[in-house]
Structure 1
Amino acid sequence: MHITFFHDVLCPFCYVTNKRLKNVISKYENVKVKHKAFMIISSLDDLLAAAPTPEDARELFRSEFSILTRYYPDYDPKKVLDKGKIGHVWSMPPLMACKAAEFQRGDQGHWEYFSLAQDKFFMEGENINDDSVLISIAKEVGLDVERFKRDFKSKEAKLAVIQDEEEAKAMGIRGVPALVVNDKWLIRGVQTEEFLKQVVDDIMEYGEPKKVELKAYWEQ
């Protein structure tokens, strides 16, 4: 079976879903995950209009970072944001970087890069719009850095992000995280590991959800 995971590096709900999905599918051999980009902050100009200064932007992000306290009670968003590195951060640069990783190592490369980029953003407070940060992530996951430098700002990477988002919107997906199982069954929002495991078990055994209720993406 295969799962298409639409996500954004800047999305806290995607952070939780990513961790849970990884834990679940690590127990199966025949589940493949395809990674797709979906921008939650699609315009830097709009962000600048809403938050003219870096301090304003950090305040805007504070509520987003605080979402993680629902799932990780020990998480301290203030500690992360008070490092002062995050300011006017938007979705396109880190998603293009994820695509550059995908160009080299396919979906596994995308996943490794995406996961580390989220850790850098939400746990370490790094500015993942900064070229040096994006390149350092490429080094850390073992990519060919010179190729990454050519790819992560390329027209091809930007087009790949746009095409992913157009695909999601054509399927009626308007927000992330969103998981599409076997090109049909849509899982929206953050779900428990138990729920995700039951979906996988059902699909593998019956070819469709039985013990959990899911609709096809076109029925949403």
Structure 2
Amino acid sequence: MQITFFHDVLCPFCYVTNKRLKKVLSEYKGVHVKHKAFMIISSLDDLLAAAPTEEDARELFKSEFSILTRYFPDYDPKKVLEKGNIGHVWSLPPLMACKAAEFQKGDEGHWEYFSLAQEKFFMGGENVNDDKVLISVAEEIGLDVEKFKRDFKSKEAKLAVIQDEEEAKAMGIKGVPALVVNEKWLIRGVQSEEYLKQVIDDVLTYGEPKKIELKAYWEQ
């Protein structure tokens, strides 16, 4: 069974889905997760136009960070943003870094890198556009750092992100998180652990969803 997970490091809903999916899959064997990039802030120029100063950018991000309070009542977005490290942050740099991790350790490397980068962003208030932060993630998950430094700004990494985006668009995916089960059934948005378990149980047992009705991505 394969689950293709389209996501962005800067997406709070992806943060929740990632945690739930990791927890659920700890109970299963034989489920492979394929990781795909999808930029929610695809233009630095557009971000600068909407938020000229770094303070403006933090104000803009406040609503995104506040989304996590729906799922984690003790989460304090103000405390994270007051650290002042997050300013004009856009999607491409951390997603290219995820691809650089994938080049070394496949989907597991991508997942490790993505998960820690999200922790640093949403919990640590760190700037995941900063080279030092991105390199520190590579160090912490045990990548070959010299290779990572060559790869995370490479044309190959950028092309890999763009190709994932084009694939998502061709499938009609317009937002993340999005999970595609066995290259067919589409799960949109944040779902409960129980929901995810039911889909996985059905697909592993019957080869298709039964109790939860899912449409193929081309039927959306």
TM band (smaller chain): over 0.9
**1:62-211 matched pairs, under 5 angstroms:** 62-211=62-211
Which amino acid in structure 1 is aligned with residue 111 of structure 2? Answer: W
Cross-structure match for 1:23: 23
Which amino acid in structure 1 is aligned with residue 86 of structure 2? Answer: I
Which amino acid in structure 2 is aligned with residue 107 of structure 1? Answer: D
Normalised by the size of structure 2, how large is the TM-score? 1.00
Deviations 1:73-105 (A, max 9, x none): 000000000000000000000000000000000
**Aligned counterparts of 2:187 and 2:118: Cα–Cα separation in 1:** 21
Displacement after TM superposition at 1:63 (Å):
0.0
Cross-structure match for 1:48: 48
SS at match of 2:29: coil
**Aligned counterparts of 1:210 and 1:100: Cα–Cα separation in 2:** 37
Aligned residues: 220
Instruction: Determine whether 1:37 maps to 2:49.
Output: no
- Runs (4 or more) in structure 1 with deviation over 2 Å come to none
Cross-structure match for 1:217: 217
Identical positions, percent? 85
Structure 1 unmatched runs, 5+: none
SS at match of 1:179: strand
Which amino acid in structure 2 is aligned with residue 120 of structure 1? Answer: K
Which amino acid in structure 2 is aligned with residue 178 of structure 1? Answer: A
**Aligned counterparts of 1:117 and 1:204: Cα–Cα separation in 2:** 31
Displacement after TM superposition at 1:213 (Å):
1.1
Q: What is the RMSD of the two structures over their aligned residues, measured on CA atoms?
A: 0.3
